[in-house]
Each structure stands twice: as structure tokens, then as C-alpha cells.
Structure 1
Amino acid sequence: MMAVAEVVHAAYPERRESFADKLALAPDCCFGLAGANDVLAGYAVALPWTRGETVALDAMLGQLPARCDALYIHDIAILPAARGRGLAGAVVTLLAEVARRHDVRAMTLTAVYGAEAVWSRHGFHPVETAALRAKLASYGSEARYMERLLG
């Protein structure tokens, strides 16, 4: 996972301990994505979370919020060689199922790298508030908080 993160998210580094913390808190919300010959092609890390709240980059959380009403997609990373094969759409569909199992009706995320249009194609829309802009500071000025309501 760390090797994939170093390739895909070099501009947004996170410590191994930060990843381990999130995996321990929500193992049923985190997935490896298999590529050719079942070699790891990417991963998804998500957490039950509170709508309108973000998870700061490289944060050590220790626990989930007492009230969770969304599934926060902290990270989906797909190696360049595995892109264009539908992995992102498949994992978003899987995460929507996970959200429903957690009895939440929204998925949220922080879009980086100008990926707002990509996430829009998967049903997410931007939510802009001054409070959210301040919370996104660790991701840089172009980061956007987005959400998708589930039926």
C-alpha cells in the first residue's frame, strides 16, 4: 500500500502509522485493488465519519466519531498502469454498498489534483463553506470537499 501511495500521492505523503490507524478503525471499509496477475494495482481507504467533516492529511485518529452519518473516502489510489479499466467505478460502487451496510446515506471525500470532474462523474458534488475550506488546509488550496447522497 505504501508503495502505491508513494507513486500516486507523492504530493500528499502519509506515514505508515497513519494508514495503519485508519485500517484498524474500519477494516471493512478498506480494500486492495487487484490488477493483472493479482498484483496490487491500488487501494481504497474509507471510514464511517461525520458529514461536513474531513480527515486531515496524515492524521492519527485513534477512534471514529461518536455520530457517523457518512462514509468518508479518505483515499482511492490506482497505479497509472491500471487506470482506464473501471477500477475506480467498481470501488465507488463497492463503497456505496459498504456505506449502506453502515446505515449511512452519504459518501464524502476531499478531491485533490483537480479531480472534481472525475468525482462528479461518480455522482459527487462539491460542498463549499468557509469552515470546510479551513479544514481542507492540509490538502492545499485547490482541494474540494464533495459528497454523494445515497438512495
Structure 2
Amino acid sequence: MQYHIRPMKLADLDAIFDIQASVYHSDLLESQAFYENRLQLSANTCWVATTEKNQLLGYLISYPWIRTFPPALGEVLATLPEHADSWFVHDCAISPSTQGLGVGKALFITARNSAIEQGFRHSSLVSLAQATHYWLNQGYIAVDNTPQLTEKLAAYGEGACYMHQEMTV
């Protein structure tokens, strides 16, 4: 299957919600307001993979953040942190019908290269328990939990792990 990676648009949100609902438990689903907010604040760090007929296969939401702690799940923000020092990968989800075809990796590489071009040299993310192995294979390492971090991660579900990596060109 051929696909291409392009910047996310507001018109993609309905298809994104369909993918989100097909891969996540209902208590992890984020609102339309959340996605609109991240697109408004950081459109140049949000990506989709589509077929030639513009069928959405997957998406990646990311934005500048501070590496110390992850943002709260689903929180709508007034602004991004003024002194953001990390490229935060908030969500990368692939339609179940196209998993295993390299779509996620292509989205990640495109987004990562763009983040490096924007000057980011550090990346962070919250891995859900079932995805930790995948992110370890992408070069991320787990951050040691503190009580404050454990409290932040609780909303992401049991076994969620805050991870980071230094990015090189």
C-alpha cells in the first residue's frame, strides 16, 4: 500500500477520532477541543499518513514541551511553555487495518526530522504499557519515577512510562 506523510489539517479530525476510538480504551480518548488546541498551538508538529485517495491511515500529535514532566492527558492549553526544551510526542496511532506496514515508523521519522530541523535535540513521551517495547526500540529510555511523576502518569493507565531521548542529526 502506498501512502504519504503530510501536515495534519482540521479536516482530518473526524478520521483521527475514528482511529483513536479503534485503538484506545474509552478512558484514554481525547476530545475534539484537545486536537483543535494542539493544531492551533503547533500545527507544524502534527502529521498524518494518507493514501493517494486521502484515506487517513494514522496520525502523530506532537508539540514543544518542557522535559521535566509530561502534560496532563487531554488538557487544553492556553499556550505552549515559553521555554520548551523538548519535542513531546503526545500520540501516534495507526488504523488497525494498516498496522505493521511501516506507517507509524514513517510518521515518526518525518515528525522527528522536522523537530530536529526546528532545533529540538531532546524528545519525550508517555508510553502506554503495551507500547513501551516499541519506544525502547526507537531509542527512548524510561525516566525514573518520582511520586509527582507517578501521579501525572496515573491518567495514562497502569504501566504507563515517561520516556525520553537525546536526538542527533
Measured against the shorter chain, the TM-score band is over 0.9
Task: Return the offset for 1:113.
Answer: 3.8
Encode CA deviations 1:74-125: one digit per residue, 9 max, x unaligned: 0001011111111121122112212212211111110014211011111111
For normalisation by structure 2, the TM-score amounts to: 0.83
Encode CA deviations 1:30-87: one digit per residue, 9 max, x unaligned: 0111147431011110001111221211111121001111110000010111111111
SS at match of 2:139: coil
Aligned counterpart for 2:140 among listed residues 112, 124, 129? 124
Q: Is contact 2:129–2:161 with CA below 8 Å preserved after alignment?
A: no
- 1:70-85 equivalent positions in 2, closer than 5 A: 70-85=86-101
For normalisation by structure 1, the TM-score amounts to: 0.93
**RMSD over aligned Cα atoms:** 1.5
The range that moved more, 83-92 or 2-11, is 2-11
The answer to whether 1:133 aligns with 2:150 is yes
The answer to whether 1:19 aligns with 2:35 is yes
* Structure with bigger gyration radius: 2
Q: Is contact 2:48–2:107 with CA below 8 Å preserved after alignment?
A: no
Work out the CA distance in 1 between the residues paired with 2:76 and 2:151: 19
Residue 164 of structure 2 corresponds to 147
- 1:1-151 equivalent positions in 2, closer than 5 A: 1-11=16-26, 12-35=28-51, 37-130=53-146, 131-151=148-168
Structure 1 runs of 4+ off > 2 angstroms? 35-38
CA change 1:3–1:41 in 2 (3 A) is same
Task: Return the offset for 1:143.
Answer: 0.5
